[in-house]
Structure 1
Amino acid sequence: MSITAKELAASLGLSATAVSMALNNKPGVSTATRQKVIHAAEEAGYDFSKIKSSDDISGTIYVIFYKTSNAILSYTPIFEELYEGVKLICQKKKIKTRVIQFYEKTDDLDECFADIRGNDCIGIVLVGTEIKKEICEKFLNLRIPLTLLDTYFESLHCNSVLINNRQGAYLATEYLIGLTNSQPGYLKSSYPIYNFESREEGYFQAIKENGMSKSRSIIHSLSPSIEDAMADMLELLDDNVNIASCYFADNDVIAIGAMKAFKLRGYKIPEDIAIIGFDNISESRIVEPSLTTMDVPRLFIGETAARQLITQIESKTFHHSKIEISTHIVKRLSHCL
């Protein structure tokens, strides 16, 4: 059983009022006292979820972009849209937001947690595109309301809001099969994350349901950036690997990189090779030919994450949920004339 605020006050030789003000980030105690109370509460296993918010929520929602590498989160426009969605909902509720860019290789997680505990953080939107489960568990152990954005872990009890990756990949692959009456290849990211793993499942689900053999799929493993995907694909082409007549790509940057490589080696898009990407980034509209892709409603995803988090902050009882947002195909010129 966790320690109560009254017991905490007695152990620190402080009044219950002072401890309450410190825990609830209210004025009336010094910064040193506030940090002392929060540190002691954490050490004693105090349940921070007991802290109630008023109808007018005071405090700040932290939006933390957790990077383990520059492989995925280096494409900033996608994540700017996610943050804009969070910010829009928070502004309507008159809640402040703060962005933290955390890079695992150079930043200190304990310092990040100290910042969160020592300030007015009332909830966290954790953009965990690249995050590992054990790191997510550490954030959950802060006992601050949290919504996990852009990934999911079966064994963790927390809100998750993410793309319906499997469905999107399934729809793209199914569309290519119907269009070309042939088995699509797969331009697979060489960098593994949950989103790509789910897209792979959707791709193979469509292959299986159309009576095609998984073993006959032509799969190319490419780096998830335009330049590196192009270099990888050029190397494969120069090695005379088998080429499919159409491909589903894990994301748009891989698709665009592969398209550039195919064109450099004399292939015509879509006459020789049709390609569908995923994400609908701005470059997909201006590349030649324009890229057919699965559109991701990033602003809405950010808004949904903020709503889920605010509901958790305001509710006395809360049930965790996983929300998957559907995608839809945007037809351009890379899949047909």
Structure 2
Amino acid sequence: MRNVGVREISRRTGFSPATVSNALNNKRGVNKDTAETIRRVAAELGYEREGRLDHICFVLARKTGEVLDEGTFHPGVIEGVERAAKAAKLQTTLTTIELSNREAATRQAYEITRDTSNAVVLLGTEMAEEDYALFRDPVAPFVVVDGWSDRFFFESVVTQNENSAYRAVSYLVDCGHQEIGYIAGSYRIKNFPLRERGYRRAMREAGLPIDPLWRVEVGTTVTSSYNSMRSWLAQNSLLPTAFFVENDIMALGCMRAMAEKGIKIPEDVSMVGFDDLPYASICNPPLTTARIPNREMGEIAVRRMLDRIREPRDYTCVTHLSTTFVERQSVRRL
């Protein structure tokens, strides 16, 4: 028999690759007549069903690197994926897709999502909504970690961004802070607006004003956030009593700039971050932050995917993981 794939059957029948794959794998959700047509054409073409799943492909979708390159979030996710894959007796392969090279990214995404010998775990941290179109209608089992699409219904595992930020800012309010600023990343990944929404909700519910002068936009690397905060401090002598920062990397750069300016943390200004990266517990002072369970995110992503393979369903789920609030010495009680 000649080698016939899902794409050729799709072209012959006019049905999408996803529908063809579902019909050939006897999954629910395909009309009976449609499934019979697909299987008949497949038999006529000499199609042979692909072998069983043999590995998990972890795909790091990199757009600019402004968030991923200095962070230690995704290595933890990878560790979790590898741990869960090993428990299922599957190998793990790692692939980076450079989203800035659209032509190459389109080709890579197509090949990976059509390879039914693998299941795909996609890291969506830096992805914008338009980037998810590259992965539409995957034939291979597919799940997104730390990202989601508003247009395409992908299985996803994400952090409770808004509620976690809300809790962090509420903690500052409980510590007596009424002037709370917001340090935002200049590169707006999808997580950040949700964290800002949590900040604004906490401030509104506490009856506290949000001063636009204390919304500071900084770069998303240690160096760029340091430089941005230095510039802001050169023009602003009045500080709030506390800042919530969108992630720990930015917090570190800002704290360094403040220290050089003679601003003491937490005596002059308190700081709360987000992520609980390894250095957060050893910086000076140790940073109060929200810990993301990144290893668990990787493990859950694999388990959710294997569950879908064992029990196919017509819908997808977005799984929200809570964070753990970690109190350290960067916040002063007023």
TM-score normalised by structure 2 residue count: 0.84
Corresponding residue number in structure 2 for 1:97: 92
Where in structure 2 are the equivalents of 1:186-197 lying within 5 Å?
Answer: 186-197=182-193
Q: Determine if contact 2:112/2:120 at 8 Å carries over to the other structure.
A: no
**Secondary structure, in 3 states, of the residue corresponding to 2:273?**
strand
Q: Deviations over 1:137-169 (max 9, x none)?
A: 331223322111111223321211111011110
Aligned equivalent of 1:82, options 74, 77, 81? 77
Corresponding residue number in structure 1 for 2:9: 41
Distance verdict in 2 for CA 1:165–1:264, change over 3 Å: same
What percent identity do the matched residue pairs reach?
24
Give the aligned residue type for 2:129: K
Q: Unmatched 5+ residue regions in structure 2?
A: 27-48
Matched, 1:68 2:36: no
Aligned equivalent of 1:150, options 121, 146, 151? 146
Between the aligned partners of 1:272 and 1:117, the Cα distance in structure 2 is: 52
**Secondary structure, in 3 states, of the residue corresponding to 2:119?**
strand
Corresponding residue number in structure 1 for 2:43: none
Give the aligned residue type for 2:58: V
Distance verdict in 2 for CA 1:50–1:95, change over 3 Å: farther
Between the aligned partners of 1:238 and 1:76, the Cα distance in structure 2 is: 28
Distance verdict in 2 for CA 1:112–1:128, change over 3 Å: same
Between the aligned partners of 2:286 and 2:263, the Cα distance in structure 1 is: 16
Q: Determine if contact 1:184/1:244 at 8 Å carries over to the other structure.
A: yes
Between the aligned partners of 1:114 and 1:181, the Cα distance in structure 2 is: 50
Question: Following TM superposition, by how much is the alpha carbon of 1:106 offset from its aligned partner in structure 2, in angstroms?
Answer: 4.0
Q: Deviations over 1:244-285 (max 9, x none)?
A: 110100000111111111111111110001001000011112
Q: Determine if contact 2:62/2:98 at 8 Å carries over to the other structure.
A: yes
Q: Determine if contact 1:60/1:123 at 8 Å carries over to the other structure.
A: yes
Corresponding residue number in structure 2 for 1:225: 221
**Secondary structure, in 3 states, of the residue corresponding to 2:217?**
strand
Between the aligned partners of 1:103 and 1:214, the Cα distance in structure 2 is: 38
Question: Following TM superposition, by how much is the alpha carbon of 1:90 offset from its aligned partner in structure 2, in angstroms?
Answer: 1.4
Matched, 1:211 2:184: no
Q: Deviations over 1:4-59 (max 9, x none)?
A: xxxxxxxxxxxxxx4xxxxxxxxxxxxxx54x5344235443422334399x9532
Q: Determine if contact 1:68/1:104 at 8 Å carries over to the other structure.
A: yes
Question: Following TM superposition, by how much is the alpha carbon of 1:91 offset from its aligned partner in structure 2, in angstroms?
Answer: 1.1
- RMSD of aligned residue pairs (Cα, Å): 2.3
Corresponding residue number in structure 1 for 2:173: 177
Between the aligned partners of 2:312 and 2:162, the Cα distance in structure 1 is: 34
Between the aligned partners of 1:156 and 1:114, the Cα distance in structure 2 is: 16
Between the aligned partners of 1:151 and 1:316, the Cα distance in structure 2 is: 22
Aligned equivalent of 1:52, options 10, 21, 25? 25
Between the aligned partners of 2:11 and 2:128, the Cα distance in structure 1 is: 24
Matched, 1:313 2:309: yes
Between the aligned partners of 1:138 and 1:260, the Cα distance in structure 2 is: 39
Q: Deviations over 1:156-212 (max 9, x none)?
A: 212111110111101110001111331311111111111101100100010011012
Between the aligned partners of 1:292 and 1:208, the Cα distance in structure 2 is: 22
Between the aligned partners of 2:121 and 2:86, the Cα distance in structure 1 is: 15
Q: Determine if contact 1:233/1:261 at 8 Å carries over to the other structure.
A: yes
Between the aligned partners of 2:199 and 2:64, the Cα distance in structure 1 is: 26
The total of aligned residue pairs comes to 304
Between the aligned partners of 2:113 and 2:175, the Cα distance in structure 1 is: 54
Give the aligned residue type for 2:99: E
Between the aligned partners of 1:65 and 1:57, the Cα distance in structure 2 is: 24
Corresponding residue number in structure 2 for 1:287: 283
